[in-house]
Chains A and B, each alone.
Chain A
């Protein structure tokens, strides 16, 4: 692997990884408030952008560069769809299985509920969008930052200018989310719930409202991730489950419950995956199995995530 190829893999890995990080951020947020793993989260990501495409462009897969009006519409619709789907999946698939303090109670219940929600979203989407995969236009026009759309790297390799933009936007969004959780009133409430839900209730934190807000925020992040990621390749209707599990792997790598950890985990995962993909020994097949292997390994070795200490048996 030459230096140029290596640099290319790292840059495109950071771009892909930033998207994983946003997905993992939503995943970890939901976990820390409710101790529920949002197994439908990946389907929310894919469904949000495809619902936007369905309304703006239609059912036939066409590659087009939309005008300003359509771009704005696509962005707004996607963000709205992400929020609505995430909140809906909470109301229908998670809420019935939580106890009074909004904590995971009936594990079999919410596991079945969330995988069902994912399957329902996937199937409904497949019925509405019959083609195997859809090209999604770049509503943010990140590819038009330079005239050629690519940047030359030393050593002869090139990388799309989108990669830098996607990485930049995703990191800014992640930092904003981190600031929101740390500094805003609602974010403080969320952290209080994550620490001790009973104590938070006694301090007057409206748990139900903030849990819904957390799901909405996760949905918003999912939609942003979809807007950033989808134009890079065509989007298959049922690719969401895999993306969701990759996000979960990112969240686990950075310790479940840690927003910054999820983003760092996503970046590490993305870079490693791209390096594997460009490696002459391993290649694309290994790269596609890699995040899942990481997920299964981390779950088996450290159920709470890689950076967590030893699990303490809770009475």
Chain B
């Protein structure tokens, strides 16, 4: 009974760790430290007469704050620094416990009477925490967490987590507040680790430093890895395997007469190796098994439009959609005024004025290095200009920051290179973009209990997704993994995602790159429908015939300055443009007759 309760408490910590590791793809190696904070924190507070439940909550809050602070700066560098930081924390916690008896109570650890009692004088209730009460409590917490992972993984949270996992930079450009989500996940994970730790300490009535060595962090990491990516049952399988380690280790230790602790290390190492080797194949196998069960779908965000035709849903949802329909026809969606940017010694932009109106395609052309992509970077908030002003919908943009806030403000952008959110299905990638249109607070929590608001939001996302796919002609490929689309469809998917964010100003960086003539015609159709829906498109493109077909206005940049602006025909006749493109020599020749 005691062992089972202990394993269930470890499962609580593992479920917590699954959030950053298996759902958000972050390498967290320090869960053992947070378990220790929960265990020692609870017992220390209890010694000073703090009621047990309050002590557990305080210890968890302490761990959550630590997790949040740790997440503050360590979630960059593609996660590498997070691995190093959390591994450092795991060892730091252990060294502190071993070296500072004032904290840990020495090698014997801190103790508490068992079974512990929950006493509430005001209610006149005394609960004695027998082993079966622990089992019950831990099982309830585990069931609740499994439900949160299962249900949450299919709602708005699941979409955000999938975006974090598959493409953090891209997620940012689609309006997902990446750093905030990561910090929240790390804090939640740490708090759950502490709850698990408090449980194990109260159950055993003792917390000794040796039980919270970095090996525990590794074991929990393994437990989460074994189950594969984003599966609610993964941690349960992992902890189940880990639970078998101590008894198996004792057997091994007896058979080969080695230290039992060493034997645990051996088995953990074997499990780690096995988990690594089997990570991909086992996940695929298990997912296939679970998927073959009736009533299961593995698509993140749930089934798309269960009972409506795609086009019908789009039509019915058009009225509800915000964004482009709000913008007044011909109004200025985006304006850059006097923007200047310097890259290490190079003046990339020198006082550029550019605006984008609703319902137009505004093409930005110029030789390589003239500053076209820099304009898009400034407009989308990736780059802070040295001087000048950016305003969206006639409102000045506050402090420049993450691109995510720009998306909500009304500017979405595609990248010059093809960037996909891993192998997520086409529709899911659009649904992640559609998340930017969710304005209701606590949608993730509301989704857990399927409130009407959450259901409406889900329907709206499905409709937006269907609309974006229809607009880009990808409806037939909505269930395909994005890496199996052809390159032109992948380019169109980027536009579909940006459209799904609902931002009225859409910035496209060379969307036609790598497209054949037929695919370019399809792109022209997509751009026309974009402007028809009231959006404005700022288009960076090299293909002049494409620009001739779609652009309402063309601005020519050269060496970071606007040298001409007007219709396509006006631009073609402009001598300054001809000079920039064809060079001085030809220009001199052309002017010869005028002098003679």
Contact surface of A with B, Cβ cutoff 8 Å: 35-37, 39, 104, 107-109, 111-113, 115-116, 119-120, 122-123, 126-127, 130, 241-242, 245, 248-249, 252, 284-286, 288-289, 292-293, 295-296, 299-304, 311, 313-315
- Interface segment out of the listed B105-113, B119-127, B268-276, B357-365: B268-276
Of the candidates A113, A284, A293, A315, which one forms a contact with B92 in the assembled complex, judged by CB atoms under 8 Å apart?
A293
Query: B273: which A residues are within 8 A, CB to CB?
Result: 116, 120
Query: B76: which A residues are within 8 A, CB to CB?
Result: 303, 311, 313
Say yes or no: A126 contacts B84, CB within 8 Å. no
Query: A242: which B residues are within 8 A, CB to CB?
Result: 91, 95
A–B Cβ pairs within 8 angstroms, 18 of them: A36-B80, A108-B225, A112-B221, A112-B276, A115-B218, A115-B272, A119-B265, A130-B259, A285-B100, A289-B99, A292-B92, A295-B84, A296-B89, A300-B73, A302-B73, A303-B77, A304-B77, A315-B415
Question: Which of chain B's residues 160-210 have a Cβ closer than 8 Å to chain A?
Answer: 169
Bound CA span A153–B276, Å: 54
Bound CA span A288–B84, Å: 18
Say yes or no: B272 contacts A119, CB within 8 Å. yes
Say yes or no: B85 contacts A112, CB within 8 Å. no
Bound CA span A303–B84, Å: 10
Of the candidates A39, A122, A130, which one forms a contact with B87 in the assembled complex, judged by CB atoms under 8 Å apart?
A39
Bound CA span A252–B84, Å: 10
Of the candidates A108, A120, A296, A303, which one forms a contact with B269 in the assembled complex, judged by CB atoms under 8 Å apart?
A120
Query: B100: which A residues are within 8 A, CB to CB?
Result: 285, 289
A116 to chain B, nearest CB (A): 4
Bound CA span A107–B221, Å: 14
Bound CA span A127–B214, Å: 19
Task: Decide yes or no: A112 and B272 within 8 Å by CB, A107-B80, A315-B415 being known contacts.
Answer: yes
Query: A115: which B residues are within 8 A, CB to CB?
Result: 29, 87, 218, 221, 272
Bound CA span A81–B79, Å: 31
Say yes or no: B80 contacts A35, CB within 8 Å. yes
Contact count A vs B, C-beta below 8 Å: 132
Of the candidates A116, A127, A302, which one forms a contact with B266 in the assembled complex, judged by CB atoms under 8 Å apart?
A127
A200 to chain B, nearest CB (A): 20
Of the candidates A35, A36, A289, A300, which one forms a contact with B69 in the assembled complex, judged by CB atoms under 8 Å apart?
A300
Task: Decide yes or no: A116 and B84 within 8 Å by CB, A104-B78, A107-B25, A123-B265 being known contacts.
Answer: no
B289 to chain A, nearest CB (A): 23
From DSSP, what is the main secondary structure of chain A's interface residues? helix
Of the candidates A104, A120, A299, which one forms a contact with B74 in the assembled complex, judged by CB atoms under 8 Å apart?
A299
Task: Decide yes or no: A108 and B218 within 8 Å by CB, A285-B99, A311-B77, A313-B382 being known contacts.
Answer: no
**Which residue, of A252, A285, A311, A315, has the highest number of chain B Cβ atoms within 10 A?**
A315
A35-B80, A303-B74 are known; give 10 further A-B pairs, CB within 8 A.
A35-B78, A39-B83, A111-B79, A112-B276, A116-B273, A241-B91, A241-B214, A289-B92, A300-B69, A304-B77
Which 4 pairs, one residue from A and one from B, show the smallest C-beta to C-beta distance?
A285-B99, A299-B85, A303-B81, A111-B27
Question: Which of chain B's residues 314-339 have a Cβ closer than 8 Å to chain A?
Answer: none
Bound CA span A108–B77, Å: 13
Say yes or no: B276 contacts A113, CB within 8 Å. yes
Query: B276: which A residues are within 8 A, CB to CB?
Result: 109, 112-113, 116
Say yes or no: A296 contacts B169, CB within 8 Å. no
Tell me whether B21 is interfacial, beta carbon within 8 Å.
yes
Query: B268: which A residues are within 8 A, CB to CB?
Result: 119
Say yes or no: B92 contacts A300, CB within 8 Å. no
Of the candidates B81, B222, B258, B272, which one forms a contact with A127 in the assembled complex, judged by CB atoms under 8 Å apart?
B258
Size bracket, chain B contacts:
35 or more
Bound CA span A303–B21, Å: 19
Task: Decide yes or no: A289 and B95 within 8 Å by CB, A107-B27, A313-B169, A315-B169 being known contacts.
Answer: yes
Say yes or no: B83 contacts A111, CB within 8 Å. yes
Say yes or no: B262 contacts A126, CB within 8 Å. yes
A106 to chain B, nearest CB (A): 9
Bound CA span A150–B73, Å: 46
Of the candidates A120, A252, A293, A300, which one forms a contact with B70 in the assembled complex, judged by CB atoms under 8 Å apart?
A300
B547 to chain A, nearest CB (A): 24
A125 to chain B, nearest CB (A): 10
Closest to A103 in B: B78
Closest to B173 in A: A315
Query: B115: which A residues are within 8 A, CB to CB?
Result: none
Tell me whether B88 is interfacial, beta carbon within 8 Å.
yes
Bound CA span A313–B221, Å: 28
Question: Which of chain B's residues 282-308 have a Cβ closer than 8 Å to chain A?
Answer: none
Task: Decide yes or no: A292 and B88 within 8 Å by CB, A111-B83, A119-B272, A300-B69 being known contacts.
Answer: yes
Query: B21: which A residues are within 8 A, CB to CB?
Result: 108
Query: B265: which A residues are within 8 A, CB to CB?
Result: 119, 122-123, 126
Query: A289: which B residues are within 8 A, CB to CB?
Result: 92, 95-96, 99-100
Bound CA span A25–B81, Å: 17
B213 to chain A, nearest CB (A): 10
Query: B81: which A residues are within 8 A, CB to CB?
Result: 299, 303-304
Tell me whether B72 is interfacial, beta carbon within 8 Å.
yes
Task: Decide yes or no: A107 and B83 within 8 Å by CB, A116-B269, A300-B74 being known contacts.
Answer: yes
Say yes or no: A112 contacts B77, CB within 8 Å. no
Bound CA span A67–B50, Å: 64
Closest to B72 in A: A300
Bound CA span A245–B85, Å: 10
Query: B382: which A residues are within 8 A, CB to CB?
Result: 313, 315
Task: Decide yes or no: A112 and B275 within 8 Å by CB, A245-B87, A299-B88, A300-B70 being known contacts.
Answer: yes
Bound CA span A119–B275, Å: 14
Bound CA span A104–B76, Å: 14
Bound CA span A289–B97, Å: 10
Closest to A283 in B: B99
A291 to chain B, nearest CB (A): 9
Query: B218: which A residues are within 8 A, CB to CB?
Result: 115, 119
Bound CA span A119–B25, Å: 22
Residues 221-265 of chain B, each 1 if its beta carbon lies under 8 Å from chain A, else 0:
110010000000000000000000000000000000011001001
Bound CA span A108–B83, Å: 9
A292 to chain B, nearest CB (A): 4
Query: A293: which B residues are within 8 A, CB to CB?
Result: 92
A199 to chain B, nearest CB (A): 17
Bound CA span A158–B272, Å: 47
Query: A116: which B residues are within 8 A, CB to CB?
Result: 269, 272-273, 276
A132 to chain B, nearest CB (A): 10
B68 to chain A, nearest CB (A): 11
